[in-house]
Amino acid sequence: MNNNINNYSEDQTQEFSRKLFAGECQFFAASTNLENLPPPGLPEIGFAGRSNVGKSSLINALTGRKTLARISRTPGRTQQLNFFNLNGYMVLVDMPGYGFARVSKTRVRSWTNLMHDYLKGRPTLQRLCLLIDSRHGIKASDKELMNELDDAAVVYQIILTKADKVSVKDITEFSRGFELMRKKHPASHPEIIATSARKDKGIAELRSSLSLLVAPYHFR
């Protein structure tokens, strides 16, 4: 059944998203402050969330590359905004995590400020993927960011990570709880996607969802 809002069939969407994410993906800029952001160009998708939630791993899984974005067991691996050009269609932006990180508080504050400034002021940002660890759920620091995004009218989509570590029941419960919470979060996207970068779960679904953001310009 064709149930997506852009009126493309499931097959068309999947084919487009497969091609989009199988193509070239190149790192082209890293920013440590607002002055050295690359000029806005292609539509951008941001990946934000607490330290160690799995942002860099998810970007690698989406693009089918193991080492495109650097990952680590130690929270605080990504310390700048990293920009990846996906096949000339869109830009994926890997962000530093907020919350706990094994680096100085001053540095965390500086990159957290940068992330907030970027999120609120970037004209080409189409959607923020807000990553939540399936085991931990939404924490106070996530809620703070959600409130800010609601105020700035930046659309964000909850993406559960590390779904290989929890049961299907846990995910269903989270989704039910979030459905109730959504009333207070007008900029939240209605669809939650549960992913595991490790087990390749939910990755094709997320690719399709993100592809629809650029598909109207590229379907022939």
Residue range at the interface with ligand GTP (CB under 6 A); choices 44-52, 83-91, 183-191, 204-212: 44-52
Scanning residues 108 to 167, which ones bind ligand GTP (CB under 6 A)? 161-162, 164-165
Query: Judged by CB under 6 A, does residue 78 bind ligand GTP?
Result: yes
Residue range at the interface with Mg ion (CB under 5 A); choices 46-54, 76-84, 125-133, 210-218: 76-84
For residues 32, 38, 39, 41, the Cα torsion angle rounded to the nearest 10 degrees is -130
Query: Judged by CB under 6 A, does residue 76 bind ligand GTP?
Result: yes
Instruction: Please tell me whether residue 62 adopts helix, strand or coil conformation.
Output: helix
Residue range at the interface with Mg ion (CB under 5 A); choices 11-19, 73-81, 83-91, 186-194: 73-81
| Cβ atoms 134, 161 nearer than 8 A | yes
Least spacing, CB of residue 53 vs Mg ion, in Å: 9
Q: Which of 62, 197, 206, 214 binds ligand GTP (CB under 6 A)?
A: 197
Scanning residues 77 to 96, which ones bind Mg ion (CB under 5 A)? 77-78
Q: Which residue in this structure is represented by tokens 């269903």? A: 172
Buried/exposed code over 106-120 (b: 16+ C-beta within 10 A; e: otherwise): eebeebbebbbebbe
Query: Judged by CB under 5 A, does residue 56 bind Mg ion?
Result: yes
Least spacing, CB of residue 80 vs ligand GTP, in Å: 10
**Contacts with Mg ion: how many residues (CB under 5 A)?**
4
Instruction: Please tell me whether residue 24 adopts helix, strand or coil conformation.
Output: coil
* Choice between 4 and 79, CB closer to ligand GTP: 79
Sign of CA dihedral 48, 183, 180, 193: negative
Q: Which of 38, 80, 198, 212 binds ligand GTP (CB under 6 A)?
A: 198
Least spacing, CB of residue 40 vs ligand GTP, in Å: 23
Least spacing, CB of residue 25 vs Mg ion, in Å: 16
Q: How far apart are CA 64 and CA 47, in angstroms?
A: 16
3-state secondary structure 65-134: CCCCCCCCCCCCCCCCEEEEEECCCEEEEECCCECCCCCCHHHHHHHHHHHHHHHHHCCCEEEEEEEEEC
| Cβ atoms 175, 192 nearer than 8 A | yes
Could you count the other beta carbons within 10 Å of the beta carbon of residue 38? Answer: 15
Binding site for ligand GTP (CB under 6 A): 49, 51-57, 71-73, 75-78, 96-97, 161-162, 164-165, 196-198
